[in-house]
Structure 1
Amino acid sequence: MRQNRAVLTLGLSTMAMTASFVIWSVFSPIAGQLKELLHLSSIQMSLLIAAPVLLGSIMRIPMGIYTDRFGGRRVFTATMLFLIVPLLAAASTQSYWVLLLCALFIGVAGTTFAISMTYVSRWFPPERQGLVLGLAGIGNLGGAVASYTLPFIFNSYGFQWVFWSLAILMACVSVIFWAGTTDLPAPAKAKTFKQSMAVMQDQATWYLSLFYFLTFGGFVAFGAYLPTFLTDMFHLPATDAGIKTAGFVLIATLIRPLGGYWADRFGSRKVLVVVFTGIVVTSLVMAVFTSHFSVFFTSCYAAAILLGLGNGAVFKMVPEVSASNIGAVTGIVGAAGGVGGFFPPILLGMIKDLTGAYSLGFVLLALFACVCLRMNYSTKRMELRNQEAAA
């Protein structure tokens, strides 16, 4: 009975996270139409796209902690029901500033990553959590679903129906999730927010945050900026670039469970050695071959595989840092990954303006992967010292 409940919890949590990530990604796919409809500047449009990303990343920390305290069923359902309010408000306005405020609150959808990971991890033993959390992470596909469906809804039915349809979706998913899930018994004594945040004093929390800043941040950054690479450097049509970018997102997301499975079987640190080394190589290849489409594009898809594997392997390590504070660690690491996806596109734009090319950006990515490779070695030495001390 417990096993069946666990599988159902995993399935419904993945469904709910996918629906929430469609909402979290609502502004990027319809940015061009919104810019024309509301006569927005490029800066205004950038703020509208960035607002949900930033809040959804930072708020993962408290939401992970609250999931530990109050249970995933309650927190997940309450979050989804809350999202209906800014969606309906966004559908009812054509004021940019009201829409920006709605975008900020829509960012709460991004916190469902921390809620889902914390909730699901409680239902499975440690030796299976790599694969299970990788499967739960498939909810990231919500971004790809948004890219395919929302422009069609906008063009066919208008601005308001984009947000009305998502509000209806959220209401339906909330009811299904509440009806099909249950919470495990709460801890006898719930930790305070301050006690939960004590994990920030653990070096391992910072190491994992750095790793996820690279792997998930790289996934988000490529997903956001790859269309620009393909249209700017190789003059591909926007539709062709969008399809190729969707392929990148699909590969990186679907291979994530394999990274978790290999982490279960061989150990997260061994998987990450391969991932970080591979990112160094692919980044340098992209830096050198920015004018050769086939080599550059093949390297991008190789990077998608590596980043997806890395995402799965990193989250296998999260319960190992603090089994009693999974929500706090999940929130902190997840926030680092979200923020990691926000800054690279800005940096790449600056590099392009200053140097006329993107090559330096890929070199910096390779250097950052080298730092993560070194830190991964440090975590292994730290683990060996702890084992010796325990003996």
Structure 2
Amino acid sequence: MQEDYKGNKQILFLSTLAFFVSVMVWFNMAPFNSTIMEQLGLTKDEMGVLMLVNLALAIPGRIFMGQLVDRFGPKNVFSVLLIVMSIPCFIFALGNSYWQLLISRLLLGFIGASFVVGIRMISEWFPQEKSGLVQGVYAGWGNFGSASAAFSLPVLALIFGGDNGWRLAIASTGAIAFIYGFVYYKFVEDAPPTREFKRTKSTKVMKATSFPDLLILIATSFPIYGGMAVLVWSLQRTDLLPLGWALGLYILLGIFYLHRSTKIWLENRAYLKTNIPNEEKYSMKQVGVLSLAYFSTFGGELAVISMLPMFFQETFTLGAIGAGMIASSFAFTNLAARPAGGWLSDKFGRKKMLTGLLFVLSILYFSMSFLSAQWPIILAVMLTMSCSMVGQAASGSVFSMVPFIKKKNTGQIAGIVGAYGNIGSVCFLAVLNLVYPAVFFSVIALGAFLCFISTCLIKDPSLQEEWDKDKESIKRLQKKVRYSSDVKQNI
């Protein structure tokens, strides 16, 4: 069995490194925010817009990238994405006008969709019983690219020196992405030689296999556009976007959603009238629940990372360095916590672990709502790190289940679930703009608890794994029987 996946460790390393480079490019602006503001004479509001648009296209991008990877394969998609995204990276590094910075940063949001490409690649190269662990390694170590950018790029800028040091540091990440795109294409394949990579026939909308699933599919696409609308609202509320522009974008998003929903309905209505084979059937309910779980786990994590330094500075009167070190614990624990969540799911059951982790996470986030200056700082840090580790383990548990819903649609499903993580961060940060941090933590806790309840609606894919193993054993036995018969006939 292991021979069928020979070379999978190399694929894991190369794919994780590809995602690491993507994330490093995605967040290469963050270490130089103050420098860019000073040199180019930008206001704080203009800088805020750049940070928000950097995240915007990652939401629809993950859906689009999921369709592409299922149609053309992760090798082609990941390679092209890295090479093409180096172009807006170079434009940003050379930019002198605000519009150059804005458009290039908006386009760079697409590289945040690279996550879903590797999910499909890894699922092809590893057996089911190791899926949770390796998906956790891929996501946990790949996401560390943001922390790496924060640590290494300022040092690189100092080495280059001069007023253009930051430009050369950012351009260097684009050069790495460009070169690595060709490296990745040369040294990876979509699937092991002994296995067939199953492609979808087109990049059209996903096919539901029952009428209730069709309704769920339409419903799950609404938050994609709703999350973008929340982003527009956040920009307009802080006067970063004129009201007229905001209203126009709301109308445009509404039109896009209606068009998308109509397309899903028409294409699936005809498909549902056909005789759908059993092997093509899958549950959209699984997709919906896992999407909401990722909304609360990874979305909550991104939102907390964004506000944690300032929260600790204001609550415990810490300096910027001390608060930043505490906030960085979220990034460092991800290296171990997310793979651990996947491994625990492989070993003790995916549904069981996800349910337990969501319950514990809701308690921890609710406990964080009571944080105040009266707490010992050590206890506050321990609670924060515990919340980080459980949340990231739960994210790992979510993606330990994604590849088992429907194999050849793994990219599209990962795109939907992954997009919900970005949507969650936008929505939770919007809540933070309206309420106190205590309420913010309580809202995330409530989301995690509701997801804990919703997990009773999904099935444990471990049962499907056993069935797949039995089918594989039967196929192997049939091959042996046919081989024996052929030998006897030849004799």
State the TM-score, normalized to the length of structure 1.
0.91
> What residue number does 2:201 align with?
190
Structure 1 CA distance for aligned equivalents of residues 321 and 371 of structure 2: 23
Structure 2 CA distance for aligned equivalents of residues 323 and 178 of structure 1: 22
Matched, 1:375 2:454: yes
Aligned length: 379
Structure 2 CA distance for aligned equivalents of residues 197 and 88 of structure 1: 41
**Whose helix proportion is higher, 1 or 2?**
1
1:304-315, aligned counterparts within 5 Å? 304-315=388-399
- Describe the superposition over 1:202-253 as per-residue Cα deviations: whole angstroms up to 9, x where unpaired: 1211111100011111221122221111222222222222222222211023
The match for 1:221 among 298, 303, 326 is 303
Instruction: Kindly state the Cα deviation for residue 78 of structure 1 after the two structures are TM-superposed.
Output: 0.1
> What residue number does 2:168 align with?
161
User: Unpaired runs of 5+ in structure 1?
Assistant: 353-357, 385-391
> What residue number does 1:6 align with?
8
Instruction: Kindly state the Cα deviation for residue 5 of structure 1 after the two structures are TM-superposed.
Output: 2.5
Structure 2 CA distance for aligned equivalents of residues 41 and 207 of structure 1: 41
Q: Does structure 1 conserve the Cα–Cα contact (< 8 Å) formed by 2:54 and 2:109? A: yes
Structure 2 CA distance for aligned equivalents of residues 227 and 188 of structure 1: 44
Change (3 A) 1:261 1:381: closer
Structure 1 CA distance for aligned equivalents of residues 121 and 386 of structure 2: 31
Question: After alignment, is 11-20 or 368-377 more displaced?
Answer: 368-377
SS in 1 for 2:303: helix
Instruction: Kindly state the Cα deviation for residue 29 of structure 1 after the two structures are TM-superposed.
Output: 2.5
Quick one: percent identity of the two aligned structures?
Answer: 28
> What residue number does 2:294 align with?
212
Structure 2 CA distance for aligned equivalents of residues 117 and 324 of structure 1: 12
1:36-47, aligned counterparts within 5 Å? 36-47=38-49
Q: Does structure 1 conserve the Cα–Cα contact (< 8 Å) formed by 2:132 and 2:339? A: yes
Q: Does structure 1 conserve the Cα–Cα contact (< 8 Å) formed by 2:90 and 2:171? A: yes
Question: After alignment, is 196-205 or 165-174 more displaced?
Answer: 196-205
Q: Does structure 2 conserve the Cα–Cα contact (< 8 Å) formed by 1:79 and 1:109? A: yes
> What residue number does 2:384 align with?
300
Instruction: Kindly state the Cα deviation for residue 91 of structure 1 after the two structures are TM-superposed.
Output: 1.7
Q: Does structure 2 conserve the Cα–Cα contact (< 8 Å) formed by 1:24 and 1:52? A: yes
Instruction: Kindly state the Cα deviation for residue 191 of structure 1 after the two structures are TM-superposed.
Output: 4.2
Q: Does structure 2 conserve the Cα–Cα contact (< 8 Å) formed by 1:219 and 1:249? A: no
Change (3 A) 1:383 1:223: same
Structure 1 CA distance for aligned equivalents of residues 445 and 28 of structure 2: 31
Matched, 1:176 2:178: no
Instruction: Kindly state the Cα deviation for residue 256 of structure 1 after the two structures are TM-superposed.
Output: 0.7
Matched, 1:148 2:151: yes
> What residue number does 2:121 align with?
119
Instruction: Kindly state the Cα deviation for residue 45 of structure 1 after the two structures are TM-superposed.
Output: 1.4
Aligned-partner residue type, residue 204 of structure 2: F
Aligned-partner residue type, residue 185 of structure 2: W
Aligned-partner residue type, residue 300 of structure 2: G
Question: After alignment, is 189-198 or 338-347 more displaced?
Answer: 189-198
- Describe the superposition over 1:23-58 as per-residue Cα deviations: whole angstroms up to 9, x where unpaired: 111222322222222232232212211212121232
The match for 1:110 among 109, 112, 116 is 112
> What residue number does 2:339 align with?
257
Structure 1 CA distance for aligned equivalents of residues 151 and 451 of structure 2: 34
> What residue number does 1:280 align with?
362
Change (3 A) 1:210 1:247: same
Q: Does structure 1 conserve the Cα–Cα contact (< 8 Å) formed by 2:344 and 2:353? A: yes
Structure 2 CA distance for aligned equivalents of residues 196 and 101 of structure 1: 34
Structure 1 CA distance for aligned equivalents of residues 461 and 156 of structure 2: 52
Change (3 A) 1:196 1:35: farther
Change (3 A) 1:298 1:193: same
Structure 1 CA distance for aligned equivalents of residues 42 and 316 of structure 2: 27
User: Unpaired runs of 5+ in structure 2?
Assistant: 218-283, 464-491
- Describe the superposition over 1:266-314 as per-residue Cα deviations: whole angstroms up to 9, x where unpaired: 1122112221222222122211122223332221100111011101100
Matched, 1:248 2:251: no
Question: After alignment, is 184-193 or 87-96 more displaced?
Answer: 184-193
Q: Does structure 1 conserve the Cα–Cα contact (< 8 Å) formed by 2:70 and 2:200? A: no
> What residue number does 2:88 align with?
86
